[in-house]
Amino acid sequence: MVLKKIVSVLAILTVISGCSLLPNKQVEIITKPVELEIVQPVLPRPLNLKEPRWYVVSDAKIIEACLKDPETKKPNCKLGREDKYPEGYTYLDRFIDDIKKQHGGDIVFVAMSVEDYELMSYNTQELKRYINQLGEVIVYYRNVTVNDEQAEAIGIKVED
């Protein structure tokens, strides 16, 4: 009789506890974001520009450079002036002579007015600005798609 009671109590306890005494497996949660690796394209090679030679020509007479002091090696106008050009020789004369020398006696050149030179300068500055701003866009996209150190932006040089 006593044994029956003990068995009954144990059975009831087991049922009431809902098997909570049995161990449960713990679920380990690991969240790992998958990062997309965007392959950076090969960037174009840098520019290699050649400088043209500008001639500024007018009918102003050429003023000869001052002679250099042999001791100080510095120009001293008190010593007189060089005598490279004939009297009344102008910048236009010199230019024509230079062109003749370059082209075997022929006078041939591409001319540009001062206003057009200003336009060319404007266009060059526009191109420079465009290249720089486009470069900054490349830097921007690189920085937001690459998880490494910040890329150095293009330096800005502003003259005083």
Q: Is 36 near another protein (CB under 8 A)?
A: no
Tokens of 54: 């500008």
Q: Is 40 near another protein (CB under 8 A)?
A: yes
Answer for the pair 58, 91: CB distance below 8 angstroms, yes or no: yes
Residue of 24, 74, 86, 110 interacting with another protein (CB under 8 A): 24
CA 82 to CA 63: how far, in whole Å?
Answer: 9
Q: Is 56 near another protein (CB under 8 A)?
A: yes
Residue of 3, 21, 33, 111 interacting with another protein (CB under 8 A): 33
Residue of 3, 29, 77, 111 interacting with another protein (CB under 8 A): 29
Residue 83 C-alpha from the chain's centroid: 47
Binding pattern to another protein, positions 87-106, x when CB under 8 A? ----x---------------
CA 94 to CA 61: how far, in whole Å?
Answer: 10
